[in-house]
Amino acid sequence: MSQFQLLGVFEDESALISAVKAARQQRLRIVEVYTPYAVHGLERVLGLRRSRLSLVCLIAGATGAIVKLWFEFWTMAIDWPVNVGGKPWNSLPAFVPVTFEVMVLFAGLSSVAALLIVAGLWPGKQPKLIHPRVTNDRLALLLEENDAAFDVGRVRRLLEDHGAVEVTERLTGEEVPA
């Protein structure tokens, strides 16, 4: 069932932030905010929790390091031990640099891969732009009707009071003309 939505377009981050604050005070449902750059402080106003992608980074890095260290030990001391310069079979200090590099490689690539998966980004994906200038100079706030008390006129006024330069009505999933 498609829902009724209201899009407020802003020119300035402070206007957007105050509109978001007001919308949250009025318990309006904020679907998403679209910005051309990462507006700092907005995540607090929106009440977004800290991304857990750092956990992916930690786990992937630890896995990479452990697996690589074990692999180095296994190839050098167990699978085919070769006497190299009289060094001990288990030359642990010499195994550290590569372990570190592989840890960074795993952690970095996994974090980015996780971001792309969680955020649903992939090469060639057709973007669903909410407003044609949202990657240039417009910030947009998308609100959705959440209960019968959702008064379009009042919400529209709220957005305009906080400096929206443009307010449009739309339905969920509606295509935006390019």
Partner 1 sequence: MGVNAAPLLALDHGAVRYFRAGARLSKTGGHTALACTQEHQSLTVPEKLRPAAGASRPIVRETTLEAARENGGVRSKEPPVPELWPPDHPFTTHHWAMVVDLNACNGCAACVVACQAENNIPVVGKDEMRRKREMHWMRIDRYYSGSPENPLVAHQPMFCQQCDNAPCETVCPVLATTHSDEGLNQMTYNRCIGTRYCANNCPYKVRHFNWFEYSREDRLANLVLNPDVTVRSRGVMEKCTFCVQRIQDAKIEAKRKGRPVHDGDIRTACQQTCPSKAIVFGDLNDKESEVARLMDNRRRYKVLEEINVKPGVGYLKIVRPEVAGGEEKENG
Partner 2 sequence: MADVALRPPLVAGHKRLAEVTEDICRPMERWPGLAWWAAFVVAFSMLMLGVTAVTYEIATGIGTWGLNTTVGWAFGITNFVFWIGIGHAGTLISAILFLFRQRWRTGVNRAAEAMTLFAVMCAGIFPVIHLGRPWFAYWIFPYPNFRGSLWMNYRSPLAWDAFAISTYFIISATFWYVGLIPDLATVRDRANPGLRKKIFTILSFGWDGGYKTWNRYEMVYLLLAGLCTPLVVSVHTIVSWDFATAVIPGWHATIFPPYFVAGAIFSGMAMVLTLMIIARKVMGLEAYINKRHLDVMSKLIITTGSIVGLAYLTEFFTAQYGSNRYEQFVFLNRARGPFAWAYWTMVSCNVLTPQILWIRKIRNSWTLVFIITIFVNIGMWFERFVIIVTSLHRDYLPASWADYRPTSVEIATLIGSFGLFFTLFLLFCRVLPVIAIAEIKGVLKHGVQGEAH
**Please, which of residues 12-71 interact with partner 1 by CB under 8 A?**
none
Binding residues vs partner 2 (CB under 8 A)? 11, 14, 32-40, 42-43, 46, 48, 50-51, 53-54, 57, 61, 71-72, 75-76, 79-80, 82, 84-85, 87, 91, 94-95, 97-98, 100-102, 104-105, 107-109, 111-112, 114-116, 118-130, 132-137, 140, 178
Distance (Å, whole) CA 150 – CA 144: 9
Among 25, 38, 50, 83, binds partner 1 (CB under 8 A): 83
- Helix or strand or coil: residue 102? helix
CA distances 124 to 77, 120, 139, Å, are 46, 12, 24
Q: Using alpha carbons only, how large is the chain's radius of gyration in Å?
A: 25
> For residue 11, what are its two tokens?
């020119």
Q: Which is nearer to partner 1, 37 or 80 (CB)?
A: 80
Query: Interface with partner 1 by CB under 8 A: which residues?
Result: 82-89
